[in-house]
Amino acid sequence: MNRIMRTWLWVLFVFLSFSMGRAQGDRKICVIPKPQNVVMGGGEFVWNARTEWHTNLKGKEKILLDRYLQMLPYRLAKGKVKADANIVRLTLESLPNTTNPEAYLLQVTPKEIEVKANTGAGLFYGLQTLFQLGGGIDSAELNIPCVTISDEPRFVHRGYMLDVSRHFFPKEFILKMLDVLAYYKINVFHFHLVDTGGWRIEISRYPKLTEMTAYRPAADLDEWRRRKNVFCTKEVEGAYGGYYTKDDIREIVAYAAARHITVIPEIDMPGHSREVLWAYPEYACKGKNASNSNELCIGQEETFTFCKNVLKEVMELFPSAYIHIGGDEANRNIWKECDRCKKRMAEEHIDGVPGLQNYFTNSIERFLAAHGKTLIGWDEILDGDVSPRAVVMSWREEVDGGGEALRRGHRVIQSPTSHCYLDYFQDNPYFEPQGLLGYTPLKQTYGFEPLPEGDFDKSLVLGVQGNLWTEHVLDTDRAEYMTFPRMLAVAEVGWTNPALKSYPDFRERVLKALDYLRAREIHPFNLSTEIGPRPEAEKPVCSLAKGKKVTYLKPYNREFAASGETTLTDGWLGNWNSNGARWQGFGGDMDVVIDLEQPTELHAVKASFIQILTGGQYIPEKLEISISDDGKNYRSLYEHTYETDNKRLYEIYLFGWVGKSKARYIRFHATRAISWGNILSDEIIVK
């Protein structure tokens, strides 16, 4: 079945199943993403047995459309329009005021609906808007409000990423998600196919990738880690996982293309490759076992041959102009210990292991370019002199990856953790399913602005993307819950001009859209019962330390810098999220001194700590509070040890001293409980 046939099948199926509902007077239209220009008219178009379909499509395209209309049952009219007919007209023609290939013009009058567009993509998006105008069939006669909508997207890339490595999702679920994504004009599906959790795509030349690492003995990643991250074959009792055959991939790609969605595959390299090294340990720096490494050996030429052979098969399956190679979070220390890697660095005059990864990235970039493909990588690829042709997908807001890429002239796709990571909690974590690290409610995602400040070519920002990592997303229901409705916010950020956006208006439209999602058997987050931000974070705290200078005896973690050296005495408590502007992290001990500027009566010295075990955020093992009159000689005020409750995946604790004393200086020393992770605190409160 060709692309045109698949497109019309989807268009007409949606039209039958979900399209239009009875208008209620002069109601405000409910469309997501919000169109750029809307002019309401008077009256309604009545969809009934007299409605005729007309089009200027010719030849095979017209025949295919007519065949599928008959399935509704409708059909393209023959000859002239009947005197008493009302018309749906589909017209491909050049729009007068835009050349945007995704633009459309939708006009609804009492006698006619017409969708005009420059291309098939624009026509498709115009139909999606038409389908949303009513919101669901509720009678044999449908009333559609008269309106004129001229519309086009703000950005060319409006994407959704699904991690199918850490947890596998069946092909049927992927197709279901593509249907819904298309309905909201998402045009890119980023398919995160391989990672340390399992290899999910058939590669003919390397069959052991799926034979040996597409399954593992435990679905739950924490349980799997307790079992030393071992993989197993499909035949093992209790084996969890799966993979997509080449035919599966072809079906997914064709299904997406029929909905004007481009599928971009991600094949992680050179990091996140534990599954590769399990199946083919010869590509590891440490040889046979490779049990201590997730990184490919860049020192041997066979690794490059392997990567390029895999990418050849991937390129045969995915017609996308882009191939994503990951490139993030590689533990480069392993290359420092490898004789082959050290030899390559010497031979190629490479200064340090960051340069070695850059050497690898540029080699793969040249290979992809020779095959007509463009490399996409996470913002770690900027750690060297990467080719200007490479596209940067920016995720680390704390290093301003997007801004750095733009300053260096790279095209950028914005997907920062702060707004676009859909595995983060979307409401009060005490009542939410297990999430990772942060709190990213719908309002925060909706408030994202992809264009950073600065003097740069704004066309370099290709768009925005929501990412669903699935460490703690065990099944399809959970994936839907974490995705929706936040992907609707991503859709509107990517499509609608900022001047037209309003969160109260958007929230009202989302509440109505939830009914559509539930009718599609999607399980979204229930926005109507949202609790919202942490109440304690909504108003300033009363503290004698507010505004006072803090001296850091040990540095804070720059990845959790919050507002820098004012964080702990700015008078504000943190929200539910550890990734926000108020929680400051310490990769080692937290050891600070507060100068109250004069001897002060003390009755309490406390601080709150956030524990998110899934994100490596732990309470301190020990807390010591001491005081001084001169800043040199300290006396102990409080000392206590704490034990982490591993059953509490999320908790905010308030630790400290209550009593009576007097001093000018307060030293607050919290000892880290384990050798990794962070201690996070938002405020030291002095009463």
Residue 258 pLDDT > 90, yes or no? Answer: no
Look up the CATH number of the domain holding residue 627.
Answer: 2.60.120.260
Q: How far is Cα 120 from Cα 4, in angstroms, rounded to an integer?
A: 9
Asked if residue 518 and residue 392 are part of one domain, the reply reads yes
CA 151 to chain centre: 25
426 inside domain:
yes
29 inside domain:
no
User: Among the three residues 99, 131, 151, which one is the final residue of a domain in this structure?
Assistant: 151
User: Among the three residues 123, 151, 179, which one is the final residue of a domain in this structure?
Assistant: 151
Asked if residue 506 and residue 377 are part of one domain, the reply reads yes
Asked if residue 407 and residue 263 are part of one domain, the reply reads yes
Predicted local distance difference test score (pLDDT) of residue 581: 79
- φ, ψ for residue 118, nearest 5 deg: -70, -35
* 141 contacts 105 by C-beta, under 8 angstroms: no
Predicted local distance difference test score (pLDDT) of residue 135: 64
3 inside domain:
no
Predicted local distance difference test score (pLDDT) of residue 81: 74
Asked if residue 213 and residue 140 are part of one domain, the reply reads no
| Cβ partners under 8 Å of residue 453, min gap 6 | none
Residue 290 pLDDT > 70, yes or no? Answer: no
Asked if residue 625 and residue 486 are part of one domain, the reply reads no
| Cβ partners under 8 Å of residue 15, min gap 6 | 72, 127, 131
Number of Cβ within 10 Å of residue 398's Cβ equals: 14
Asked if residue 140 and residue 210 are part of one domain, the reply reads no
32 inside domain:
no
Strand spans (E) along 217-301: 240-241, 262-266
What b/e string do you get for 367-388 counting C-beta neighbours within 10 Å, with b at 16 or more?
bbeeeebbbbbbbbbbbbebbe
2 inside domain:
no
Of 350, 264, 270, 347, nearest to 303 by C-alpha is 270
Question: Considering the chain, what percentage of its residues have pLDDT values greater than 70?
Answer: 91
445 inside domain:
yes
Q: How far is Cα 484 from Cα 190, in angstroms, rounded to an integer?
A: 17
Asked if residue 515 and residue 412 are part of one domain, the reply reads yes
Asked if residue 248 and residue 210 are part of one domain, the reply reads yes
Predicted local distance difference test score (pLDDT) of residue 625: 98
353 inside domain:
no
Q: What is the mean pLDDT of the chain?
A: 90
Q: What is the DSSP letter of 486?
A: H
User: Among the three residues 494, 513, 529, which one is the final residue of a domain in this structure?
Assistant: 529
Residues 538-573 pLDDT 10s: 999 999 999 999 999 999 998 889 999 999 999 999
Asked if residue 550 and residue 504 are part of one domain, the reply reads no
Asked if residue 522 and residue 619 are part of one domain, the reply reads no
Look up the CATH number of the domain holding residue 95.
Answer: 3.30.379.10
pTM, two decimal places: 0.90
| Cβ partners under 8 Å of residue 643, min gap 6 | none
363 inside domain:
no
Look up the CATH number of the domain holding residue 462.
Answer: 3.20.20.80
Residues 403-426 pLDDT 10s: 889 999 999 999 999 899 999 999
Catalytic positions, written as ranges:
195, 272, 329
Predicted local distance difference test score (pLDDT) of residue 16: 45
The whole-number average pLDDT for the span 501-507 is 98
Asked if residue 172 and residue 80 are part of one domain, the reply reads no
* 272 contacts 294 by C-beta, under 8 angstroms: yes
> What is the number of domains present in the chain?
3
Predicted local distance difference test score (pLDDT) of residue 63: 63
Asked if residue 255 and residue 211 are part of one domain, the reply reads yes
Domain that holds residue 179: 157-335+370-529
Q: Which residues pair with 662 in a beta bridge?
A: 601
Rg (CA), the chain: 28
